[in-house]
Structure 1
Amino acid sequence: MMIKTKPTNSNFKSILSLTNRLFFVFLLLPTVTIIHSFPVPKLERRVMDHAGILSEATKNQLEASLKQFETETSNQIAVYTTPSLHDEVIEDVAIQIFDEWKLGQKSKNNGILLLIAPNERKLRIEVGRGLEGALTDIQAKQIIRNEITPSFKAKDMDGGVTAGVNAIMAAIRGEYAPSEDDVNTSGNDSDEVSSGIVGGIATFFSLFVAGFGGLVVTIIGILFLYPLLVFIFGGTFALIIAIALFFLVIFLKRIFGLGQGGGGSGGYYDGGGWSSGSDSWSSGSSDSWSGGGGDSGGGGSSGDW
């Protein structure tokens, strides 16, 4: 009896271990694609209207305002409209563009990117690490909601972008503050919070479900939790956290024998890492504008209309 039981248990653990590894590969491959697939264009000017939504007069006026603002403060603000996000989440696209363009001074990381995708009706304000105190996530959210999207809904793209850029500069100067309503209300964020709570409960419950069923419950729980992670951390970091959470659950189940109906057995964790490089660029225009070597990491906010 004992001789027959051990091989069966060992085979089951081997299948479970193989399933875990395949699930990790399944999650890792989209992450690599997200980091590298978007075709980041070469910078030509401070306002890059590749989607063709702005008038020439508006582009010239914004160029002059942003140039003067950079001269006065050293903060670099770029506006980019893209005809397509190429099926990627806008948070990941914004980070790729920001870091490859190296917005902001290297010692200050004081860059801002306003990214607009009119075909998907989405936009993002991405903030450099050095400006996260001057332009908070709440302020960025308010600028999108109160200054930009009302004009976009009225099909006034020139007015929306101009109002957004002016509000961003005002916030950095300390002249734009969120209202009490913006601080105390969650608006459309309730769906992400509700989904995250359900996902968190399901993920915790999966610790006590045995065998393959526990693995399925873990995956379902993380899928429900994922929208909240994206809202808080952005797409790329949310996926990394989801992967780490999955392996944490498997690790705890093995170490403490949770959901196995008996004593736990030792396990192991094979981690993987990846990195993305970015090339510096310089403008080929007569303005001779170039990134100062800064990077993202200061947060921001996304929206749609």
Structure 2
Amino acid sequence: MNSKLKFINSKFNFKLPKGWLFVLVLLQFLTGLSSFPVPQLERRVMDHAGILSEATITKLESDLKQFEADTSNQIAVYTTPSLHEENIEEVAIEIFDEWKLGQKNKNNGVLLLIAPNERKMRIEVGRGLEGALTDIQAKQIIRNEIRPSFKSGDMDGGVTAGVNSIMAAIRGEYAPSEDDVATNRDNSFSDVAPSGLVGGIFTFISMFIPAFGGLVFTIVGLFVLYPLLVFIFGGTAALFVAIFLFILVMILKRIFGFGQGGGGSGGGFYSGGGWSSGGDSWSSGGTDSWSGGGGDSAGGGASGDW
């Protein structure tokens, strides 16, 4: 492997600045620093916040297992005691992509995330189901099916109604009302596009800034660009894309002489870091064991509170 990397380095005659490996490790560290502590996926319904009765959990588990057997779609419910001061949309993506809900080639998973202490909830949809469970439908399910029960203190009823409506929407049996169609639209892209544009500009400008200042601009640009990458590629793939863009910027700076004015020969090429994308296989298992099938998010969804 080392000989191949040296060959690549000599073939294209580029050198990365000193500290490039440190910056890559720092990127991974800072990304992980703000990560939500995603628990291991064990069941279809994981009530870590303790808001559901055992009878409700058992019934939901049975219904979701049968729904998966009938349709191959995977739906998971997770209640968390805390969002750890993170945005619920980001937490939902982290959990979804870590659990890899849905089958790998179909991306047909759905996550219902509930944070009772913050009084927030989120329906996160795999990209393979974005046509069957639209953002408008997800928003209507939260507003009309889940929120009324939660506001009255009936957590069991709210989660059950939400799960049943999600399954109905995927089957084509749950349609948004005319008011929903007229007054709602998907704001997901418009929310991340401006920051993505700024991040892209910062990353581009960083090629013309020498030495440490250029590295700082590159890191800042990629962090601002990251939410847009998540929207396009999904959480796990977005991290790899960000790392690739960083390496590409460093290569371009050396090949075309952009931003030269410091730094020595770092040599070499990044040979890997140990990020894992999880397994490609899935199993519905028994009642005590269950795992995702290799899918990812990026299909949209909706958030709400009560």
Bucket of the pairwise TM-score, normalised by the shorter protein: 0.5 to 0.7
Query: 2: CA distance between counterparts of 1:147 and 1:58?
Result: 16
Equivalent runs, 1:53-202 vs 2, <5 Å? 53-55=51-53, 58-59=56-57, 62-63=60-61, 65-66=63-64, 69-70=67-68, 72-84=70-82, 89-98=91-100, 110-127=108-125, 131=129, 133-136=131-134, 139-140=137-138, 143-144=141-142, 147-148=145-146, 152=150, 156-177=154-175, 180-181=181-182, 184-186=185-187, 190-202=190-202
TM-score by length of 2: 0.68
Deviation at 1:23, TM superposition (A): 0.8
Contact preservation (8 Å) 1:134, 1:172? yes
Deviation at 1:142, TM superposition (A): 5.5
Deviation at 1:216, TM superposition (A): 1.8
Distance 1:248 1:108, change over 3 A: closer
- Secondary structure in 2 matching 1:115: strand
Structure 1, unpaired ranges of 5+: 1-14
Deviation per residue, 1:99-143 (Å, 9 max, x gap): 5xxx66x89765543233334555444556764553356654664
**Pair 1:247 & 2:250 matched:** no
Counterpart in 1 of 2:8? none
Distance 1:94 1:210, change over 3 A: same
Counterpart in 2 of 1:7? none
Query: 2: CA distance between counterparts of 1:42 and 1:292?
Result: 7
Contact preservation (8 Å) 1:115, 1:123? yes
Deviation at 1:20, TM superposition (A): 1.7
In the alignment of these two chains, the number of paired residues is 277
Counterpart in 2 of 1:283? 286
Name which structure has the greater RCO, CA cutoff 8 Å, separation 6+. 2
Larger radius of gyration: 1
Percentage of identical aligned residues = 61
Deviation per residue, 1:53-108 (Å, 9 max, x gap): 23456445545644554565454433232334678833222333345xxx66x897
Contact preservation (8 Å) 1:111, 1:127? yes
Deviation per residue, 1:39-64 (Å, 9 max, x gap): 31533xx4332312234564455456
Deviation at 1:144, TM superposition (A): 4.5
**Pair 1:18 & 2:21 matched:** no
Query: 1: CA distance between counterparts of 2:142 and 2:215?
Result: 40
After alignment, is 292-301 or 217-226 more displaced? 292-301
- Secondary structure in 1 matching 2:258: coil
Equivalent runs, 1:228-247 vs 2, <5 Å? 228-247=228-247
- Secondary structure in 2 matching 1:275: coil
Contact preservation (8 Å) 1:112, 1:128? yes
Contact preservation (8 Å) 2:125, 2:298? yes
Distance 1:267 1:18, change over 3 A: closer
Query: 2: CA distance between counterparts of 1:107 and 1:294?
Result: 9
- Partner amino acid for 1:282? G
Query: 2: CA distance between counterparts of 1:107 and 1:232?
Result: 17
Query: 2: CA distance between counterparts of 1:229 and 1:141?
Result: 23
CA RMSD for the aligned pairs? 4.3
Contact preservation (8 Å) 2:107, 2:127? yes
Contact preservation (8 Å) 2:74, 2:110? yes
Query: 1: CA distance between counterparts of 2:107 and 2:198?
Result: 37
Query: 1: CA distance between counterparts of 2:193 and 2:61?
Result: 39
Counterpart in 1 of 2:47? 49
Contact preservation (8 Å) 1:90, 1:123? no
